[in-house]
Chains A and B, each alone.
Chain A
Amino acid sequence: MILNIATYLSVLIFLTVVLYRFIKIANMPAHLRWDLYPVPHEGFKKSRYGGSYYEELDWWTKPRHVSKLNELSVMIPEIILLRGVWEANKGLWFWSWAFHFGLYLAIFMAFLAVVSTIIGPVSAFGLILTNIAALSAVIGYILGVIGCIGMIYKRLANEKLKPFTTQASIFNLIFILLIFITGLIAISKTGLLATDQSGLIGQLQIYTAGLVNFDGTAVVHPAVVLHITVILLFMVYMPFTHMAHFFLKWFTYHGIRWNDEPNKAGSALEKDIIRSLNYKPTWAAKHIKADGKKTWVDIATEEVFKDDKK
């Protein structure tokens, strides 16, 4: 029962914080453009070399093509293979990839555990999912342990990384390492591919069924309880940290780096900009001539250095 309540609370906190942070960033005023090329939605031909619509004569008269497919062709290798790290930081790549891919597989395992519980773990399809989940778990946890240990070593020993390693960096890695280690302990205590739900995936299915049915009487192995507890603690902690980049990265790419949306007369974007131009800044340097009453429009349009001419 306690584990179930802890799970509901952890999921609630996780979702609330993630949603809060997402909305907070999404509701910030439209910013000045800060695009960085290549911008993949320009399509394969242009993004191959980093071109933009500014290469077209009278570009504002031409239809704007935005290729979401090409964005995916960049994002998928970036997310799955960490292409950016591979290209610019090969010494860190394997450890970082193992760490991230281990997490992906662990999340995939949890997803399959939930789906197989819903469709019936003993059905033929349920069994297939259970076996895939088991494979994901064991590969993911082993990769995760390797990745975490490698990353901790790099953070503490590498002369490029060490000066910038904070206590929290190590704490976070140890925290995630604990998830993987307790997962491996749970596998060692319960087995992996047991067909009678005594293995790790089966135990997770029992736990998930209890959650879905609001049934607090389900009993799982203490090693599994320990594993789940570490995961729940991490779920509560993680959205408050820089690790929230797993979802806020959407803004850094789509909202900033690839945001090349031109401002058109009468558009929603223009209305947003006009709203911002009417904010009243309080910058203190004399040449700004802000007094807390003038808007950005006032400041940008008045003859500020008129007196200096005399």
Chain B
Amino acid sequence: MIKNKLSIKDFGKDTDQLAHVDLNDLTPLPPPYDKVEDEPKWKELKPEYREQFECSLDDTVALGIPKPKTPGEEKELVDKFVSGLQKLFQKENNWPFLQQLMLTLEHCAKCQTCVDACPIYEASGRNEVYRLTYRSEIWRRIVKKYVQKKPFASFTDGDIDLNWKTVARLMELSYRCTICRRCAQTCPIGVDNALITHELRKVFSQEMGIAAKEIHEKGSVLQLKVGSSTGMNSEVVKDNIDFIDEDMSEITGLTIKSRWDVKGADIMLLHNAGEIIAWPENPGAFAIILEAAGISWTLSSDAVAYDGINYGLWYDDAQLARVAIKHAQAARKLGVKKIVIGECGHAHKALTVIADRVLTGDLNIPRESAMTLLEDIVFSGKIKFDPSRNNFPVTLHDPCNLVRLMGVVEPQRRILRYLCPQFREMTPHGVHNYCCGGGSGFAIMSPNNFQNWRVAVSGRKKLKQVLDAFSDCPGPETKKYLCAPCSNCKGQIRDILQYYNVKEKSNIIYGGLVELIVNAMVDVKPGFISWDESF
């Protein structure tokens, strides 16, 4: 049953708000989260905010674009949008995605086979505005009519009006998809409607200079300016790691000292610097494991290279390339044999898969997932483990970038099967997993009431999966652990668990993979993972 029926033509109409999210329509969660009256109420956008900023899509705002003041300004923005769309189809401007985009433009059969794969569409109660083909169809019609200027475009592809409302709504709508590409997996023709989200964001950023503040201004720009999107410069990050080492030494009873700028080390480890601030036990656990296994490793204190994030992956090819090159340059300078990427899904995909066709010559330094290295260490016999220390229910979240989009599926599972006696899978899992709802930058975006949307709608399917995975022990009397080997996913999961008070009601905590490994190490004092100190 489709809720909130909308036609394509509605999209350009001069109405205040195109669609509405009714909490009663959202897919039900298992008890005790099943009562609509207990669902946290959404913060409403203030009338004065609505006066100034574009809020005409749904009940939330991701970008907050000031409304143009005159028809002239509106026209200028629409023209820029068309100009950007034209550039998407020029090899000089868009060689990185030209072939994929052209095929996706031309060959969609509009069979709707992909739509039910989308967790956002499903969780919203099939709200038409979130149907992924609604967005892609609007884009196709605009391209055919206003960019390619095809004769008979309204006959072959359907008609659409292009005005400021259309563009403003598309900007927001390009931030209602996590680019998890679950939809693309189902397309029998191989069309990728999630790619359209990616390319739309590029037009807005690369041509119009419009992007979500958290991923551009406070994200990739800050990273390139000071070294990290966290704002940490080289000295601060070293100080923070020192503190973490001290804490880890105290907690584990071992002497932990992270290594900086070791020339000729085998491995340059690349963390998402957000871990250092939000989940210090994660980089700490990495140091414990690598030291215990006698690995030759180092961190780089070069600007940008101590933060593995690369937000350009979600919205801007130039920013993506700039950050990837900085990472590779730091590794080249140190003369390491390989870069190992810590528990950050998008950093994995950006540097290993996407940047593979950006890094040439001596910048093409081998890159590897930490999952693979950790598997090798765990099964090498270099470290003694006591799996009974992890004898609590554990489930695994598959970060889309690491699993569906990179094919690293089993190493982390082999570790969990060995070290966690009560490990259980979610349904579905592996390459058919559901996104945490925080993909493509959402996890770090909370302007206005966007967090309401990204948790209650975008993250809903994931919460249901997690609760279902622990359905044999739902109550708070059983301590449970959700393993999410990705910083962004953890950020989103943190917000979901807090939003629905899951720690109190179900006693589920979340964390990475390395924490479980260290928790099972015989040489470490018991209790590395603690339910009392989480959050």
The answer to whether the Cβ of A245 comes within 8 Å of any Cβ in the partner chain is yes
List the 5 closest A-B pairs by CB distance, nearest first: A52-B407, A252-B190, A50-B431, A84-B188, A300-B321
Instruction: Please state if A38 and B137 are interface contacts (CB–CB under 8 Å).
Output: no
Q: What residues of A have a CB within 8 angstroms of the CB of B95 in the complex?
A: 28-31, 276, 279
Q: What residues of A have a CB within 8 angstroms of the CB of B358 in the complex?
A: 32, 273, 277, 300
Instruction: Please state if A160 and B356 are interface contacts (CB–CB under 8 Å).
Output: no
CA–CA, A248 and B111, complex, Å: 17
Q: For the complex formed, measure the closest distance between the CB of A48 and the CB atoms of chain B, giving whole angstroms.
A: 10
Instruction: Please state if B357 and A30 are interface contacts (CB–CB under 8 Å).
Output: yes
Q: For the complex formed, measure the closest distance between the CB of A254 and the CB atoms of chain B, giving whole angstroms.
A: 9
- Given A37-B404, A283-B318, A167 and B155 contact (CB-CB distance below 8 Å): yes
CA–CA, A276 and B93, complex, Å: 10
> Taking CB as reference atom, which chain A residue is nearest B9?
A163
20 A-B residue pairs with CB within 8 Å: A28-B91, A34-B97, A34-B100, A37-B409, A46-B407, A84-B188, A87-B186, A92-B113, A249-B190, A251-B190, A270-B360, A273-B358, A276-B91, A276-B95, A276-B96, A282-B92, A283-B207, A283-B318, A287-B209, A288-B206
Instruction: Please state if B155 and A58 are interface contacts (CB–CB under 8 Å).
Output: no
Q: What residues of A have a CB within 8 angstroms of the CB of B83 in the complex?
A: 284
Instruction: Please state if B111 and A54 are interface contacts (CB–CB under 8 Å).
Output: no
The answer to whether the Cβ of B473 comes within 8 Å of any Cβ in the partner chain is no
* 16 new A-B contacts at CB < 8 Å, known A57-B368, A252-B103: A25-B99, A35-B406, A49-B430, A51-B407, A53-B407, A54-B408, A55-B372, A60-B366, A84-B186, A84-B188, A166-B155, A241-B156, A256-B190, A280-B92, A287-B209, A305-B224
Q: Which of A51, A58, A78, A89 contacts B368 (CB 8 A)?
A: A58
Instruction: Please state if A285 and B205 are interface contacts (CB–CB under 8 Å).
Output: yes
Q: Which of A31, A55, A159, A281 contacts B357 (CB 8 A)?
A: A31
Flag the segment in A113-121, A137-145, A257-265 that touches B: A257-265
The answer to whether the Cβ of B237 comes within 8 Å of any Cβ in the partner chain is no
Q: For the complex formed, measure the closest distance between the CB of A22 and the CB atoms of chain B, giving whole angstroms.
A: 12
Instruction: Please state if A34 and B364 are interface contacts (CB–CB under 8 Å).
Output: no
Q: For the complex formed, measure the closest distance between the CB of A117 and the CB atoms of chain B, giving whole angstroms.
A: 34
The answer to whether the Cβ of A242 comes within 8 Å of any Cβ in the partner chain is yes
Q: Which of B92, B155, B158, B192 contacts A34 (CB 8 A)?
A: B192
Instruction: Please state if A37 and B403 are interface contacts (CB–CB under 8 Å).
Output: yes
The answer to whether the Cβ of B504 comes within 8 Å of any Cβ in the partner chain is no
The answer to whether the Cβ of B391 comes within 8 Å of any Cβ in the partner chain is no
Instruction: Please state if B357 and A88 are interface contacts (CB–CB under 8 Å).
Output: no
The answer to whether the Cβ of B80 comes within 8 Å of any Cβ in the partner chain is yes
- Given A38-B431, A55-B408, A242-B106, A263 and B100 contact (CB-CB distance below 8 Å): no
Instruction: Scan B186-200; emit 1 where CB is below 8 A from any A CB, else 0.
Output: 111111100100000
CA–CA, A165 and B110, complex, Å: 7
Instruction: Please state if B99 and A284 are interface contacts (CB–CB under 8 Å).
Output: no
Instruction: Scan B361-387; emit 1 where CB is below 8 A from any A CB, else 0.
Output: 100101011011101100000000000
Flag the segment in B50-58, B114-122, B278-286, B508-516 that touches A: B114-122
- Given A34-B192, A248-B103, A88 and B91 contact (CB-CB distance below 8 Å): no
Instruction: Please state if B109 and A242 are interface contacts (CB–CB under 8 Å).
Output: yes
Q: For the complex formed, measure the closest distance between the CB of B317 and the CB atoms of chain A, giving whole angstroms.
A: 8
CA–CA, A193 and B265, complex, Å: 78
CA–CA, A51 and B372, complex, Å: 12
> Taking CB as reference atom, which chain A residue is nearest B116?
A88
Instruction: Scan A222-255; emit 1 where CB is below 8 A from any B CB, else 0.
Output: 0000000000000000000110110011011101
Chain B 384-413 interface residues, beta-carbon cutoff 8 Å to A:
403-411
The answer to whether the Cβ of B70 comes within 8 Å of any Cβ in the partner chain is no
Q: What residues of B have a CB within 8 angstroms of the CB of A71 in the complex?
A: none
Instruction: Please state if A248 and B372 are interface contacts (CB–CB under 8 Å).
Output: no
Q: What residues of B have a CB within 8 angstroms of the CB of A29 in the complex?
A: 91, 95, 98-99
The answer to whether the Cβ of B354 comes within 8 Å of any Cβ in the partner chain is yes
Q: For the complex formed, measure the closest distance between the CB of B313 and the CB atoms of chain A, giving whole angstroms.
A: 10
- Given A88-B113, A96-B111, A42 and B372 contact (CB-CB distance below 8 Å): no
Instruction: Please state if B99 and A256 are interface contacts (CB–CB under 8 Å).
Output: yes
Partner-A contacts on B (CB < 8 A): 2, 6-8, 80, 83-84, 87, 91-93, 95-100, 102-103, 106-117, 133, 137, 154-158, 181, 184-192, 195, 205-209, 216, 221, 224-226, 318-319, 321-322, 325, 338, 352-354, 356-361, 364, 366, 368-369, 371-373, 375-376, 403-411, 430-432
Q: For the complex formed, measure the closest distance between the CB of B212 and the CB atoms of chain A, giving whole angstroms.
A: 14
The answer to whether the Cβ of A212 comes within 8 Å of any Cβ in the partner chain is no
Q: Which of B209, B372, B430 contacts A285 (CB 8 A)?
A: B209
CA–CA, A256 and B357, complex, Å: 13
> Taking CB as reference atom, which chain B residue is nearest A171?
B155
Q: For the complex formed, measure the closest distance between the CB of B373 and the CB atoms of chain A, giving whole angstroms.
A: 7
Q: For the complex formed, measure the closest distance between the CB of B430 and the CB atoms of chain A, giving whole angstroms.
A: 6
Instruction: Please state if B359 and A263 are interface contacts (CB–CB under 8 Å).
Output: yes
The answer to whether the Cβ of A66 comes within 8 Å of any Cβ in the partner chain is no
- Given A54-B372, A304-B224, A245 and B209 contact (CB-CB distance below 8 Å): no
Instruction: Please state if B112 and A31 are interface contacts (CB–CB under 8 Å).
Output: no
CA–CA, A123 and B531, complex, Å: 83
CA–CA, A78 and B195, complex, Å: 22
Q: What residues of A have a CB within 8 angstroms of the CB of B93 in the complex?
A: 279, 281-283
Q: What residues of B have a CB within 8 angstroms of the CB of A256 in the complex?
A: 99-100, 103, 190, 192
Chain A 53-81 interface residues, beta-carbon cutoff 8 Å to B:
53-60, 78
- Given A31-B96, A280-B92, A305-B224, A50 and B188 contact (CB-CB distance below 8 Å): no
CA–CA, A96 and B221, complex, Å: 48
Q: Which of A36, A82, A262 contacts B184 (CB 8 A)?
A: A36
CA–CA, A273 and B96, complex, Å: 9
Instruction: Please state if B431 and A49 are interface contacts (CB–CB under 8 Å).
Output: yes
Instruction: Scan A147-187; emit 1 where CB is below 8 A from any B CB, else 0.
Output: 00000000000011101111111010000000000000000
CA–CA, A78 and B186, complex, Å: 11
Q: For the complex formed, measure the closest distance between the CB of A212 and the CB atoms of chain B, giving whole angstroms.
A: 34
Most buried by B among A57, A260, A284, A285: A285
Q: For the complex formed, measure the closest distance between the CB of A184 and the CB atoms of chain B, giving whole angstroms.
A: 25
The answer to whether the Cβ of A301 comes within 8 Å of any Cβ in the partner chain is yes
Instruction: Please state if A262 and B356 are interface contacts (CB–CB under 8 Å).
Output: yes
Instruction: Please state if A57 and B373 are interface contacts (CB–CB under 8 Å).
Output: yes
Q: For the complex formed, measure the closest distance between the CB of A51 and the CB atoms of chain B, giving whole angstroms.
A: 5
Q: What residues of B have a CB within 8 angstroms of the CB of A37 in the complex?
A: 403-407, 409, 431
The answer to whether the Cβ of A39 comes within 8 Å of any Cβ in the partner chain is yes
Q: What residues of A have a CB within 8 angstroms of the CB of B191 in the complex?
A: 252
Instruction: Please state if B325 and A300 are interface contacts (CB–CB under 8 Å).
Output: yes
Instruction: Please state if B157 and A166 are interface contacts (CB–CB under 8 Å).
Output: yes
Q: For the complex formed, measure the closest distance between the CB of A178 and the CB atoms of chain B, giving whole angstroms.
A: 18
The answer to whether the Cβ of A135 comes within 8 Å of any Cβ in the partner chain is no
- Given A29-B91, A279-B91, A52 and B406 contact (CB-CB distance below 8 Å): yes
Instruction: Please state if A169 and B110 are interface contacts (CB–CB under 8 Å).
Output: yes
Instruction: Please state if A49 and B103 are interface contacts (CB–CB under 8 Å).
Output: no
Q: Which of A54, A85, A171, A274 contacts B406 (CB 8 A)?
A: A54
CA–CA, A87 and B188, complex, Å: 10
CA–CA, A50 and B405, complex, Å: 10
Q: For the complex formed, measure the closest distance between the CB of A26 and the CB atoms of chain B, giving whole angstroms.
A: 9
Q: What residues of B have a CB within 8 angstroms of the CB of A196 in the complex?
A: none
